[in-house]
């Protein structure tokens, strides 16, 4: 019976003090007194917040009737209604929403410096070392391309156009600082307590916060949200932490990285390689196996071909680095990289100024005391499995953002999940976060926007014969005069024949792919069909209009090569 | 974090630049009602500021000059509204009604 009761309390997230009467002196005496004050002779004899509940049966009855929860709540001297661990996109959205609903909230955010010593302010990955600086550097590269095209449109200037890395980083970091400040202001205005400290669980409902100076404070809350995000993974080879940088370091690098080797085939790797090359640097990408795992492989192949053929990025496929050696110190220095083939004994080496590792990101869930309160994580990747209301296996602990098992790792997803979670916990809402048809864009030199299923996934789920894939190349008008290639930009939709040709996959490779995709994502949420696309009149001349005139299908197998318009 | 102007990193300025013209009426009140409201709150907040802090009170001139979209403040200092409390050399600032909130001011005046 004792075990049953212990389990009950554990699932409620409540710590128990157990006094084993057969292990104390005069246990019999205690039992007698208990009998006097509670009229109960048996064990277990349970008290909650100084109120006598009874034995095992009575306790379960109290749980059924709700009395137990009431007793647990009363007298609960929790400091806060909500403590959020992690001040990134998800954490801040959740905290702010809870505060708006009138709750007492604390946010803990702490950036453990990267091996190269880089750190940053409040706001999480997106603001500091992700989406924001990435898109700005991508823009810097696009402007370089635009300058190049401009001569064809009649612009005349004598100077050779060159790029100053320090000027760009200064401007970008300035903007990021204003965002950090904005977040701090925003939290203060809503009376959310913000601690720049490392949070970890010490027991149920209680965390310890350690600041930069090592000072510790403890705090309690009724509910917790874990939103600690991820950090770049290292290779685990000689010289990786000492000499390589990651995206954590790249966006605030005080010196131009020079000739760069990017290790990885993730979107982070390709986006970084893309803008570095666009800024005029000599860039090589080393890929172990496939590019953009999880994304539509036809699109990934076209995207990387473009980078290789038109954008001057070198690709070393099917190699992994085994050693990084420093040849010269400096900013940047000179590094020698030795790599081994994944298909045989061949090794190669190369000399680079900078080696950027972009081989994946690991969840920050292993050193925050989750084991102390029994929150289950996926031991392999550190991700946290949650149910459809973002709840972990411990009832008062929730998780959002990149650390979630099986959910898209995107800022808007984390923000949406955070907001809705706060509304469900503290408001009157029951709306859950919708993870279906989440659009995304890879900001490589040729941008790739998508929403819904990849062709591979669609075939797996619906079977090839039930799908109709429409596709076309398109030539942006702006590229014609600029003398840029035709038959490179590409549009593809995947339709489910069994459901009125419902559009279940949308893919576009071309300029402004993000802007184009956003609108079509809304259409897909409204259950867009091919017929509706055909009935929509296109805007001319744009790239997006290609989706309103798609005719050729893959099954027909006709040639989609454009001959100019 | 951000570029730090070595000289002025921890020096907060209140910038309403004085151009030598009278910008206060006979009772000593500025033409800007928001500034009039904010001034006592700022002065109160300054009592808790750290030593070595330099506070500069700067007028942006008469109303027409301020309203001119090309005036120095808008162009050089990127000031978009008054009152603005600005920690010079950093992106940290408080604008308009934010200047009325003592807790926000406390954050601006702190060392970070």
The per-residue pLDDT for range A348-381, each reduced to its tens digit, is: 999 999 999 999 999 999 999 999 999 999 999 9
What per-residue confidence (pLDDT) applies to B49?
80
Residues A387, A435: Cα–Cα separation, whole Å? 13
Size of interface A-B (CB pairs under 8 A): 35
Residues A552, A555: Cα–Cα separation, whole Å? 9
Comparing alpha-carbon positions, the chain B residue that sits nearest to A252 is: B1
A120:B107 CB<8 A:
no
Residues A239, A322: Cα–Cα separation, whole Å? 9
Least CB–CB distance from B104: residue in A175, A177, A185: A185
Residues A407, A306: Cα–Cα separation, whole Å? 29
| DSSP string for chain B | -----TTTTT-EEE-----SS--B-TTS-BS-HHHHHHHHHHHHHHTTPPTT----B----SHHHHH-TTSHHHHHS---SSSEEEETTSS-EEEGGGGG-HHHHHHHHS--
Three-state DSSP class for residue A139: helix
Active site residues of B: 32, 35
What per-residue confidence (pLDDT) applies to B15?
38
Comparing alpha-carbon positions, the chain A residue that sits nearest to B91 is: A178
What per-residue confidence (pLDDT) applies to B13?
40
Comparing alpha-carbon positions, the chain A residue that sits nearest to B94 is: A185
Give the distance from residue A179's alpha carbon to the nearest chain B alpha carbon, in angstroms: 9
**Res B26 pLDDT > 70:** no
Apex A334 CA angle, A333 and A335, nearest 5? 120
User: Global pTM?
Assistant: 0.84
Phi/psi of residue A525, each to 5°? -65, -25
Q: Are strands A230-232 and A361-363 parallel, antiparallel or unpaired?
A: antiparallel
Least CB–CB distance from B107: residue in A173, A180, A188: A188
A-interface mutation test, from B5, B45, B78, B91, most A Cβ less than 10 A away: B91
Judging contacts by C-beta atoms under 8 Å, the chain A residues touching residue B98 are 185, 189
What per-residue confidence (pLDDT) applies to B18?
38
What per-residue confidence (pLDDT) applies to A342?
96
* Residues in a beta bridge with B12: B87
Active site residues of A: 540
* DSSP annotation of A42: S
Tokens of B63: 């109303």
Least CB–CB distance from A173: residue in B2, B94, B98: B2
Q: 121-160 in A: which are within 8 Å (CB) of B?
A: 121
Phi/psi of residue A51, each to 5°? -100, 135
Residues A501, A528: Cα–Cα separation, whole Å? 9
- Closest Cα to residue A346, out of A326, A317, A304, A325? A317
Residues with Cβ within 8 Å of A235's Cβ and at least 6 positions away in sequence, in order, are: A244, A263, A320, A321, A357, A359
What per-residue confidence (pLDDT) applies to A313?
97
What per-residue confidence (pLDDT) applies to A85?
98
Judging contacts by C-beta atoms under 8 Å, the chain A residues touching residue B100 are none
**Res B21 pLDDT > 70:** no
B91:A189 CB<8 A:
no
Least CB–CB distance from A170: residue in B3, B92, B98: B3
Regarding an ipTM greater than 0.90, the answer is: no
Interchain contact A174–B (C-beta under 8 A): yes
Residues A442, A455: Cα–Cα separation, whole Å? 17
- What b/e readout covers A103-129, taking b as 16+ CB neighbours within 10 angstroms? bbbbbbbbbeebbeebebbbbbbbbbb
* Residues in a beta bridge with A451: A506
Give the distance from residue A127's alpha carbon to the nearest chain B alpha carbon, in angstroms: 12
Residues A558, B7: Cα–Cα separation, whole Å? 68
Least CB–CB distance from B1: residue in A170, A177, A185: A177
Three-state DSSP class for residue A184: helix
Judging contacts by C-beta atoms under 8 Å, the chain B residues touching residue A170 are 3
A180:B93 CB<8 A:
no
| pLDDT tier at B27, thresholds 50, 70, 90 | low
Tokens of A271: 């986006």
Give the distance from residue A350's alpha carbon to the nearest chain B alpha carbon, in angstroms: 33
B91:A178 CB<8 A:
yes
Residue A267 is assigned to a ligand binding site: yes
Residue A314 is assigned to a ligand binding site: no
- Closest Cα to residue A507, out of A495, A492, A488, A520? A492
What per-residue confidence (pLDDT) applies to A442?
97
Q: 464-503 in A: which are within 8 Å (CB) of B?
A: none
Q: What parts of chain A have a pLDDT lower than 50?
A: none
């Amino acid at each position: 019976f004792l075990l049953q009761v212990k389990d009950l309390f554990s699932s409620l997230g409540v710590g128990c003090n157990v006094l084993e009467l057969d292990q104390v002196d005069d246990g019999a005496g205690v039992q007698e007194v208990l009998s006097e004050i509670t009229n109960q002779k048996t064990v277990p004899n349970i008290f909650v917040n100084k109120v006598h509940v009874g034995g095992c049966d009575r306790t379960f009855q109290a749980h059924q009737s709700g009395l137990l929860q009431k007793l647990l709540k009363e007298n609960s001297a929790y400091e806060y209604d909500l403590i959020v661990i992690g001040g990134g996109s998800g954490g801040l959205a959740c905290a702010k929403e809870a505060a708006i609903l009138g709750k007492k909230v604390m946010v803990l955010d702490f950036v453990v410096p990267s091996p190269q010593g880089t750190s940053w302010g409040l706001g999480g990955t997106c603001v500091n070392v992700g989406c924001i600086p990435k898109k700005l550097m991508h823009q810097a590269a696009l402007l370089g391309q635009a300058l190049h095209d401009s001569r064809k449109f009649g612009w005349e200037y004598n100077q050779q156009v060159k790029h100053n890395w320090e000027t760009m980083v200064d401007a970008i970091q300035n903007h990021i600082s204003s965002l950090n400040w904005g977040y701090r202001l925003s939290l203060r205005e809503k009376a959310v307590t913000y601690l720049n400290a490392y949070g970890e669980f010490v027991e149920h409902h209680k965390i310890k916060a350690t600041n930069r100076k090592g000072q510790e404070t403890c705090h309690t809350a009724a509910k917790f949200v874990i939103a600690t995000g991820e950090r770049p993974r290292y290779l685990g080879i000689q010289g990786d932490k000492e000499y390589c940088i990651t995206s954590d370091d790249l966006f605030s690098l005080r010196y131009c990285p020079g000739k760069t080797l990017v290790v990885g085939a993730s979107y982070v790797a390709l986006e970084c390689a893309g803008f570095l090359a666009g800024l005029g640097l000599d860039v090589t990408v080393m890929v172990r196996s496939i590019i953009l795992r999880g994304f539509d492989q036809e699109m990934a192949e076209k995207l990387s071909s473009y980078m290789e053929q038109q954008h001057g990025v070198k690709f070393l496929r099917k190699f992994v680095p085994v050693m990084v050696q420093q040849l010269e110190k400096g900013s940047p220095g000179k590094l020698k990289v030795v790599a081994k083939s994944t298909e045989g004994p061949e090794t190669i080496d190369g000399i680079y100024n900078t080696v950027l590792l972009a081989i994946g990101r690991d969840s920050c869930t292993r050193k925050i005391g989750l084991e102390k309160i029994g929150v289950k994580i996926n031991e392999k990747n550190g991700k946290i499995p949650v149910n459809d209301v973002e709840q972990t296996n411990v009832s008062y602990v929730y998780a959002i953002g990149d650390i979630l098992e099986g959910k898209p790792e995107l800022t808007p997803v984390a923000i949406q999940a955070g907001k809705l979670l706060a509304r469900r916990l503290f408001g009157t809402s029951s709306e859950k976060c919708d993870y279906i048809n989440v659009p995304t864009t890879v900001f490589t030199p040729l941008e790739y926007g998508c929403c819904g299923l990849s062709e591979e996934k669609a075939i797996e789920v619906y079977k090839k014969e039930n799908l109709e894939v429409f596709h076309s190349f398109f030539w942006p008008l702006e590229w014609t005069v600029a003398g840029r290639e035709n038959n490179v930009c590409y549009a593809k939709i995947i339709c489910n024949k069994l459901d009125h040709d419902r559009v279940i996959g949308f893919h576009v490779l071309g300029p402004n792919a993000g802007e184009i995709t956003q609108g079509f994502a809304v259409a897909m949420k409204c259950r867009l069909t091919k017929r509706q696309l055909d009935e929509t009149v296109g805007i001319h001349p744009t790239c997006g209009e290609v989706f309103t005139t798609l005719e050729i299908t893959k099954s027909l197998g006709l040639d989609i090569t454009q001959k100019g318009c | 974090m951000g570029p730090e102007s070595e000289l002025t990193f921890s020096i907060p300025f209140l910038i309403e630049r004085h151009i030598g013209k009278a910008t206060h009426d006979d009772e000593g009140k500025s033409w800007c009602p928001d500034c009039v409201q904010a001034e006592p709150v700022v002065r109160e907040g300054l009592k808790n500021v750290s030593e070595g802090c330099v506070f500069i009170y700067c007028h942006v001139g008469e109303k027409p000059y301020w309203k001119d979209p090309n005036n120095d403040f808008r162009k050089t200092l990127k000031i978009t509204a008054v009152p603005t409390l600005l920690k010079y050399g950093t992106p940290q600032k408080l604008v308009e009604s934010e200047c009325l909130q003592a807790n926000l001011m406390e954050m601006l005046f702190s060392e970070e």
